[in-house]
Structure 1
Amino acid sequence: MKRGLKGIIGLMGFFMMSPSVAELIILASPPEHDTYYDEMQRGIIDFQINYAKKIIKNGDEVLVLSTKTLFPEYADALGSNRVMIAPMSDIWMRDFTLVNPDDPVMFRYTAAGQGGGKEGQIQADDVQDTFYQVVKKAGLHFKSSELLDDGGNFVSDYAGNGVISSKFLQDNQLTEKQARKKLKALLGVKHIAFIEADEQGGLEHADGVVSFIGPNTLAINAYPEDPQYAAQLKADLMAQLPEVKLVEITTPYDGSQIYDKRFGSACGLYINMLVTKKRIYLPQFGIPQDKLALQQVRAVTSKDVIPVSSSQVCHMGGGVRCMSLQLRGENARKLLDYAKKVSDKKQATSGDLMK
C-alpha cells in the first residue's frame, strides 16, 4: 500500500511540474522494426537512461517515447510516469520535431537526415509524420513550414539571434536575403547568421559548430588544425551578429570510430550541448579535455553546467542535443497531460484483463 501511494504521489508531482522552472526534455527509444540501430541499442539505452537521470536530478523533467518492448527497462530506471508507449521511427528527436521551445516551428525534415536522395526524403517524411501524429493527438500548438531544415541546423539564444548553415539556402533554393526574410517572419528572430559547415556533404548542421549558451553569447568550436576555416567562421558570425560575444571551446574532435560515414562523428564536440533556461547539459567523452571544456563553459555562464557521458553514442554523429526535443509552457503541459491519459488508459486496460 505504501509503495502504491508513493507511486501516486510521484506521478502527481511529475504531471504538476512547473514548466516555467523546469524544461521538459523528450527522448525516443531505438525503433523496434529497424535493424540499423541493433548494434548500438545497448549503448543508446544506457546513454539515455544516464542522461535522463541527470536531467531529473538537476531539476528538469524528461519523457521517453518508447516502444512497447523497451518500456519496462526505461520504466524500471526512470519510473513508468516518465515513459510513454509512442514509438518513434528514429532517435534523433532534435531533427524531425520542433525548433524553438518558446514559439515552436516544425520545418520539413530533410532527406539528408535519412541518408539523402529521393528515397531519403520519403523516409524523412515518414519519420516526421510518426511524431506529428503524437503531437496532433496531444494538441500541441506550433507553426508548420514547408521549408526544408533539420532541427540540428538551427541554433538560437531565443532572444533574437539565430545561426543556420548555408545548406538551408541550397535545400530551399533561396538567396541569403530571401531566406533571412522568411526566417525572421517565421521564427521571430531579429538577426540570422549563415555559416559554412565545417564538413561539406551530409547533415551540415549548425549545432556541430556553434551553440548559444545564453543571450548574445555564442560558443564555437576551436579549429587549430584549420585556421583558415576558423577565421572565416568568426568573421561571418561577427559580421552578421555584431552584438554577440564569441567564446571558443576546446574541440578534440575524434573521427577514428564512425558508425555511419554519412553522418560522421560527434566525439570531442562539446559544442553539441543542450542549453535550457537555467542549465547546460555538456557532453563528456572520458578524455582529458573533458575537465577543460567544463571549466571553459562554467567561466562564461551563471547556469548550472552538468556533465553527461556521451562516449556510448558520439561515434554515431550526435548525442546530448541531437537526441533531445525541448518543450516549455503550455506545450509541455499538454504533452504531459496526454502521456498521463495514455498511462491511465493502459492501467485501466490492464485492470480489465486481470478481472
Structure 2
Amino acid sequence: MTQTNRQIVLASRPKGEVTPDNFRLVEAQLAPLAEGQVRVRNHFLSLDPYMRGRMNESKSYAASQPLDEVMIGGTVGEVVESKNSHFTIGDKVVGMGGWQEFQTVDASQRGVLQKVDTTHIPLSAYLGPVGMPGVTAWYGLVKIINPKAGETVVVSAASGAVGSVVGQLAKARGARAVGLAGGADKCRYVVEELGFDACIDYKQHADVRSLSAALKAECPNGIDGYFENVGGMILDAVLLRANAFSRVAMCGMISGYDGQPIPMAAPQLILVNRMKVEGFIVSEHMEVWPEALKELGGLVATGKLKYRESVADGIAAAPEAFMGLLKGKNFGKQLVKLI
C-alpha cells in the first residue's frame, strides 16, 4: 500500500473572497498503526459552505480552522488497515477525515467513525441527503418550521444539498414548497425533478421590490415557513411576504461569508408578524440524528428523495471546487472524488 498521503492544508486566511493561495497541497508519510487505530482510504470528500466561516479567525459557533493543518471536512471511505476489533478491512465508514486521501484515527473514541450500509444507499449519499446536509434540512424543517398541511414553505438555495431536501420533506408533509435558486436550469430542476410547486430565479430580480413581487405571485397565501441559507436581499424580500406567526430556520448566511456586513432592511417585521427566528447548528442536536436518518435513508433507498451531485476529481481539485461552491457554480451536493 502507498505510504504517502496527499493533503490540502489552510495556508493563509482569506481577506475577502477565497483564493487558491489560501490553500497548499502537501504530502505526508503514513506512520504504522498503533493499537486501537484504524486507517481509512477516503473515497469522497464533502465541500460545504460552513467551511468558509471556519477559515476566518473571527468569533463563530466553532473553532477556527488552524493554519498549516488539514482542512476540516466530512468524508466517506473504506477501512484499509485496522488495529481495532470494531472495524475490519473493507468496512465502509463516514467520518470527518478532512481534505486528504487517508485518515488515521483512534477508533476507540466514540463517534469518530460510523459504519454505513451501502446495499441500498450509495456511499456518497452519506455526505449528502443521508448525512449532515440531510439532517440539517430535516431539523430546520421538522423542529423549527414544523409546517402544517396547506402551509407555504420557502427555501433559499433550493437546488443545493440542504435546500433540495427541505422542499421534498415539506411536500411530503403536505405543504406548498417554493424555492429560490440562481439560474433557469436550477429552477427547472427544483420544480421538474425535486417536485417543488414553484421556483424563483433570484438572478432575474435586481432589487427587493422585484423579488418580493415574485414571491407574492408564487405564495398567494403568504409565507408560513422560511428555510434560510443565503441572507441579504432574499431575506428582506421574504420578510415582506411573511405571515403572522411564521417561522424562520436560520441555517446559513452565505451572502456574508466573505466578511461583509449583512444589513436587514425591515427587521421590525419580525415583531409585527410575531415571527419565530431560530438559528441552529445540527451537530448540537445529535439526539435527533437517528430519527432523521431513518426517514432520510428510507426515502433515498426507495427513490422517493431525489438528489444531485457535482463531483470534482482528485484532491488537488478541492480548492477550485470549493471556490465554485461559494459562488453557486455547483449543482446539488459538491463532492470531491478521491479514488
Q: Give TM-score scaled by structure 2 length.
A: 0.30
Q: Compare the two structures and name the one with the higher strand fraction.
A: 2
TM-score by length of 1: 0.29
- Structure richer in helix, relative to its length: 1
